[in-house]
Structures are given as structure tokens and as C-alpha cells.
Amino acid sequence: MTSLSTSLDSVHRYDVAEFRRHVYLANGWSAMRRWDGYSSSLTTAGIAGPSQEPNSWTPAPTTGAGSTQAGVHRFRYRYLDSTTGYVSDPSEERDVTVTSSLALTFPISTTGAANIIRSTDSKVDRIVLEATTAGGTVFYQVTTVDQTASSVVCDLSDAALAVSFLPYSGDGHNTPPVARYVVAHRERLWLFGQVVHSEGTIQVWNANKTVTGTGTAWNTEALGTSSSPGSVTWLLEIEGDDEVYEIDYGVSAVGLELKSNYPGANDSGLSYRIYSRANVIWVSRPGYPESFEPVKNLPGPSGQGAGDLTAGVGFGPVMVFFSLSGMHRIAWDQDPYVDPVVTPISGTRGALNQRVVVEVEGRLYAMDRTGVHVWRGVYPEHVSRAVDELWSLIDFSKSDRFHCVWLPEVRAVRWYVCFYGEAYPRHYLQLDADTGAWGTGEHEVGISESRLVPSAAGPVVYLGDENGYVHQADVGCCDGVPDGLSHWTVNVGASTTVIPLNEALPVSGEGLGGVMAYHVESGESRLVTSTTGTSLTVNAFSAAPAEGDRIWLGRILGKLKTRAMGRAALTQVFRPRWVWLAFEPTADARRAKVRYYADYGAEPRTDFSTFSRRNLPGLVHPGNEDVVAGTHTDGYLVETDFEEGMVKVPCGGIFRRTLEVEVLIEEPGVDFELAAFLLDDSEAVQRAAD
């Protein structure tokens, strides 16, 4: 694996867009980056042009016999990345008087007002010389030369020059502004959104513009410098101070200057926040994703539901923008800057962030604080009623880490969210796009990113986890290991971190790094950090596993829980007898667990009879076998390889008003397909009580 960069900002997450086989990354705090898909490193998007300050270029070309016609010609130059065809803005324009038919030679160097100045941008490989015809005002391309050349020559007649049209617009090729989100749509890049920055602490002085920081990670690419202002106005709020201060420019990672002197007392170790109120949208030139017109943007939507932009997506011919509780669309014909039409869609539904919005087959799905909604072109429709009760478990303070992905193989949209106590999303909610059915799931590690990626074999969903590993989603019955490598026995000599196993382990590539190892006897899961041919290295268990203990790798926890079932008249009680489960028998001997919840209870039943612990066919009675630490007493074990594919699971003989049935898969490598479920094999009066 190759590292494309070791200097990316680690505070603010990058948003990603693809344009003509180039990847663009924006995060609202650093200059936009670009990757061409094969280079060994990232580059900064856009090309800074030559100076346009007066008298920054005072050319005095040498002359010789040639074809340039007599008269006053205006000259300028710019930089070109020939691999993409993208250019910078031009230099200062200068008049050169030609007295007769001549060839004009302009020197190229790194300094000197008389010289064309080479670019310091590694992407630039050519310098473009442009000129007007004698007495004209329209610029044409004279020639391009390698930027390592020492000179460039103008030797064209006006007739030849007048047909050498510029393949790009004359200006509007400023470098991309710093913005939080980037979207590619209709041959343009769209940039929008701002971040809030509050890393470290600051120190201020009375009657002084200087602010210094400790661990602040400030960036002049966003805040600007004394000679190059930032894209937006940045504001500073300081702990214990009700005033808001405008930032003039950044000095370093730990230094900045205010517009005016700080009026408060000297102080240090202060918390703070830097933010911007600029709720604007920047749009690149068509076909030139790295070229932006200076001081030109679209105002963000206003009106009911409008707020800071949180997401945007191309939808057919329009762009749809979201705030936390609003949706608007922008349509245009000629140019978004010339004839934009902004139309409100909703003042109540929005999106938490850019990564919880996805377009699927003409439908736009998004998650906000009230649920998941879908927009088909008219009004957003609430579609998450079946799982809305789970919203109380979701930690929305971490909503910037939520994300979603379309899974084409199962035709479902999956949203990864943080439940309380999770640093990164371990839980997900999944919507079947065809039936509208919802499901839920859980990983043993936090999933920080999900992407649908094209491949030679078709679209593939990849997941990135909180530990820096990448996984292919939903392949097999185990997370990160082939199904046949999930069950292991501990060999002699294990420590809390190095676990020798009974058979050879795979070591190619990452080996089993990133997989979760579950110690059955202790009930603890730990991350595998590396492997040798015979042992695992893991984050330390609380105690060393003993020889003969079991290690399960890559287990996927599966659960199906019914709603509460009872009689049609809830004043009645009923005595359920058993549950029938029909399933496709598995090839390997594995176990599924069946648990019961009575009368809306929060905990599974454990009051099973100890008078008779007879194991029925394909079933293990609670308490008859130790499967995990302690005696297994809270449910029955179904032998998934039972060849008849149907088992009868007793419910007990106690009267109940309602009963919920839960089927659990706690063991890895269980390809368990439940075909049918029946309570008592009896009346059709059972129903979902809630």
C-alpha cells in the first residue's frame, strides 16, 4: 500500500468528488487536493497564476527578423498543466511596440521583472504566451514552451495569430476556494460549506492584534496570509468573551492576526472557536474544475428551513442543497451565475451532513434529526417509521461521522450511525429500496467510511474502519477472514497479546490485521494487529487465554427479533407452547440461539424448568452446555446443521400476555437462512401487538 500524503489535515474530514478520472478532496480548512489515480502523491488543485500587480512584468524582448507585424501588441503569459489542459489566470498585460516585421524573444527565469517567471507549482510543465494582433484587444495563443526553457519566441503574422484561438476562457482560472464539501455535476465542481475549528487553546493580549495558540493547527490556506486573503471572512469567539472578532489573516499553525486590537485583558489557555458566516456556493467553469472566477459565488438558499449548508447533490439537471432542516434546488440554463432559479423543496426536512445523502435510481435519500426521507422530485416523504424508535439511541453529537452507502447486490441503502458510547459508527440501519423493509446491524469495530467503488467485476462496496483498515462489505459469513478460517484453538504459551494457534495462519498482504478476535471463554473481543504463520498479535486481553481455549475470528453478530405477539384481545392471557423454526441446514456444525421476552420485558427469560433438561432433536436445552463464559441459561441452542431443517423450541408453560422471540447468531461462519417461523403451529389470531 502506498501513502499518497502524510501531511493531510487530521482534524477535519475530507469530502471527495470524482471529475474526469481525477479525485478531488476538500475539507474546509485546507486547500483542495487532487489525485490522478496513478501518481504516488496528491497535488494541490488549481494553479496560482503569475502576479497581476502593476509593473510586476516589464518585458523588453530581444528582436530579430520575423513575422510579427508592426504596431502595438499586448502580451501576457500564463501557466499550463498539459496533462489535464488546466491553466492559471494570466499575468499582468503589457504593451510592446513592434516597428517592423520581427521575431520577439522573451526571456524566462525565476526572478526579475523583465523576465517571464517560472511557476513553482510541480503540476505546471508549460508556459503559454498570449498576444493581441496589432492594435487589437482580443488575446490569442502565440505558443507554449516547456517551463524549463530559457525563452519563448513570438513569430506569427496577425493573420496566423488571429486563428490561434484560446482553448479556454481568458480569465476566471483562480485557484479553488477553501470549502468543506465538493460535488461534481454537469461538468463543474461545486464547493460549499464551512467548518468550525476549535483545536488547542489560545493566548491574547490587551490592545494587540496578535493571537497565539497551543496545539491549534491553524492553516493559512484557509485563513489567508498578509498578501493573499482567504476565501471567506473568518470570525473568532473566545471563552468567557461575548464579543466576536474578525480575523485578518493567519501567520502560522500557532499564530494569527485580528482586524483590530483585542480590547480584553491578557489571558492564556483559553478555549475558542473559529468559524465563518459565509453560506455561499462556488461554481467552477464548465470543463475546468480547478478554475473559479474571483470574488464570484452564489448566495446560499434563504427562507424557511434555510440555514448553513450541510449537503448538496446533483439530481438530474439540477443541484439540490440541504441544511439541517431544509431543502432547495438550483436550476439553470446558460450558467448558474447568469440565470439561476432557486426553488424551496422543504422547510422541515434536511440532512445531517454530505455523507448521509445518496441518489438511487431517481430517488434522493437523506437522514436528518427526525428520520430518513426520500425525495422523488416533488416533496420529501418520511420512510423510516419502522425504525424511528431507534432515534433515541443515536448520538447526534457525532453526526458528522455518520455516512451511508448504496449496496446494489442487495438493493438496499445502509446508514452507519453512532449509538451512545461509540466513537465511530458501529451500528447501521438498512432500507430495502424495493420493499421498504428495514433492518439493523452492528460491527465489532467502528466503520468510519463506506464507498461504492467501480471495479472490473462490477460495483464493490468498501468499508474503512476506525483502525485504518479497509474491508470489502458483506462478503461471506465472517468479517475480514474466509469462512473456513473463523474457528481456532489456542496452543500452549499464550500471553495477553500473542496468541499461538493450532494451525497455520494466512500472512499475505495484511494477513489477519484488522480482524476482531473473540475469546469465547472470557467473552472479550480484541483487535488483531498482526499475524505470523502460527500466532496472532492482539490488543491485550485482560488475561492470557489458556491452552485449548477457543478463538473466533471475524464474527458477525446476527439477530432477528419479532414484535410482541399475543391474543387479539389483550385482556386475555395465553399459554404458548413452542416455536417452530424452519431453516436451510448449514454445511458446518454451528449454533444459533433462541431467546424469549415476556410481557414487553427488557431482558430475556431465564426461568426455564430444571426438572427436565431433555434435549429435543436439533436443540440444546438451556443449561445443558457451556457455550460462552458461565452456563448457557438464557435461551435454547439450535444446531444449524440439523438435517431436517426444522426444530421445535419450547416456550415454557407460564401464562403470558405477549411474547417476543429472538434468534441470535453469535458464532462466525454461520450461513443461516431462516425460511419460516410459527408460534404454536396454531391459530391465525396472533398478531404484532406494537
pLDDT score recorded for residue 1: 55
The answer to whether residues 142 and 132 touch, using CB atoms and an 8 Å cutoff, is no
Edge-to-edge, what's the strand order for the sheet holding 578-584? 646-650, 578-584, 673-679
The residue-averaged pLDDT of 16-20 equals: 93
pLDDT score recorded for residue 28: 95
Q: Which residues contact 515 (CB under 8 A, 6 or more apart)?
A: 479, 480, 481, 527, 528, 553, 554
- pLDDT band for position 466 (50/70/90)? very high
Instruction: Name the average pLDDT for the chain.
Output: 89
| Maximum mean pLDDT: which of 233-247, 591-605, 659-673 | 233-247
- pLDDT band for position 563 (50/70/90)? confident
The three grid cell numbers given for residue 458, joined into one nine-digit string? 462490477
* Beta-strand runs (E) in 562-650: 565-566, 578-584, 591-598, 619-620, 636-639, 646-650
The residue-averaged pLDDT of 54-59 equals: 95
Largest Cα–Cα distance in the chain? 116
- What's the chain's Rg over C-alpha atoms? 33
Whole-number Å distance between alpha carbons of 462 and 472:
5
The residue-averaged pLDDT of 35-57 equals: 92
Q: Percentage of the chain surpassing pLDDT 90?
A: 66
- pLDDT band for position 305 (50/70/90)? low
The residue-averaged pLDDT of 582-593 equals: 87
What's the length of the chain? 690
pLDDT in tens, 107-135: 999 999 999 999 999 999 999 999 999 99
The three grid cell numbers given for residue 328, joined into one nine-digit string? 432547495
610: left (phi over 0), alpha (psi -120 to 50) or beta: alpha
The DSSP call for residue 161 is H
Cell 484557509 found at: 222
Using the predicted structure, report yes or no on whether residue 391 has a pLDDT greater than 60.
Answer: yes
CB atoms within 10 A of CB 430: 18
Edge-to-edge, what's the strand order for the sheet holding 371-375? 357-360, 363-368, 371-375, 380-382
Whole-number Å distance between alpha carbons of 448 and 467:
9
pLDDT score recorded for residue 105: 97
Q: Is 268 helix (H, G, I), strand (E, B) or coil?
A: strand
Whole-number Å distance between alpha carbons of 77 and 147:
12
- pLDDT band for position 689 (50/70/90)? very low
Q: Is 158 helix (H, G, I), strand (E, B) or coil?
A: helix
Whole-number Å distance between alpha carbons of 326 and 305:
4
Q: Which helix (H) or strand (E) holds 459?
A: none
Edge-to-edge, what's the strand order for the sheet holding 272-275? 267-270, 201-204, 210-214, 255-258, 244-252, 235-238, 272-275
The alpha carbon torsion through 597, 599, 603, 604 (nearest 10 deg) reads -20
The alpha carbon torsion through 299, 301, 304, 306 (nearest 10 deg) reads -90
pLDDT score recorded for residue 569: 47
Strands 102-109 and 116-117: parallel
The three grid cell numbers given for residue 263, joined into one nine-digit string? 480590547
Alpha carbon distance, N-terminus to C-terminus of the chain:
51
The answer to whether residues 78 and 41 touch, using CB atoms and an 8 Å cutoff, is no
The residue-averaged pLDDT of 664-671 equals: 84
> Residue 573: what are its φ and ψ, rounded to 5°?
-110, 160
Using the predicted structure, report yes or no on whether residue 549 has a pLDDT greater than 60.
Answer: yes
pLDDT score recorded for residue 474: 84
The residue-averaged pLDDT of 200-207 equals: 97
537 has which bridge partners? Answer: 498, 530
pLDDT in tens, 434-445: 999 999 888 889
pLDDT score recorded for residue 142: 97
- pLDDT band for position 629 (50/70/90)? very low
Using the predicted structure, report yes or no on whether residue 509 has a pLDDT greater than 80.
Answer: no
- pLDDT band for position 631 (50/70/90)? very low
- pLDDT band for position 596 (50/70/90)? confident
pLDDT score recorded for residue 162: 96
The residue-averaged pLDDT of 593-617 equals: 77
Domains, the chain, ordered by start: 62-161 (no CATH), 201-266 (no CATH), 483-553 (2.40.30.20), 558-688 (no CATH)
pLDDT score recorded for residue 52: 93
pLDDT score recorded for residue 2: 63
pLDDT score recorded for residue 369: 96
DSSP 295-359: T--EEPP-STT--S--EEEEETTEEEEEETTEEEEEE-SS-TTTS-EEEEEESS---SSGGGEEE
pLDDT score recorded for residue 244: 96
275 has which bridge partners? Answer: 235
pLDDT score recorded for residue 683: 42
Whole-number Å distance between alpha carbons of 353 and 622:
46
pLDDT in tens, 252-288: 999 999 999 999 999 999 999 999 998 999 999 999 9
CB atoms within 10 A of CB 534: 14
pLDDT score recorded for residue 485: 84
**Nearest of 289, 337, 297, 294 to residue 87 by alpha carbon:** 289
pLDDT score recorded for residue 572: 53
CB atoms within 10 A of CB 489: 13
Using the predicted structure, report yes or no on whether residue 44 has a pLDDT greater than 50.
Answer: yes
644: left (phi over 0), alpha (psi -120 to 50) or beta: alpha
Alpha-helical (H) ranges within 579-638 are none
> Long-range contacts of range 429-432, CB-CB < 8 Å, 24 or more positions apart?
429/372, 429/384, 429/387, 429/390, 431/365, 431/372, 431/383, 431/384
The DSSP call for residue 29 is S
pLDDT score recorded for residue 423: 95
pLDDT in tens, 160-186: 999 999 999 888 898 999 999 999 999
- pLDDT band for position 684 (50/70/90)? very low
The three grid cell numbers given for residue 70, joined into one nine-digit string? 508592426
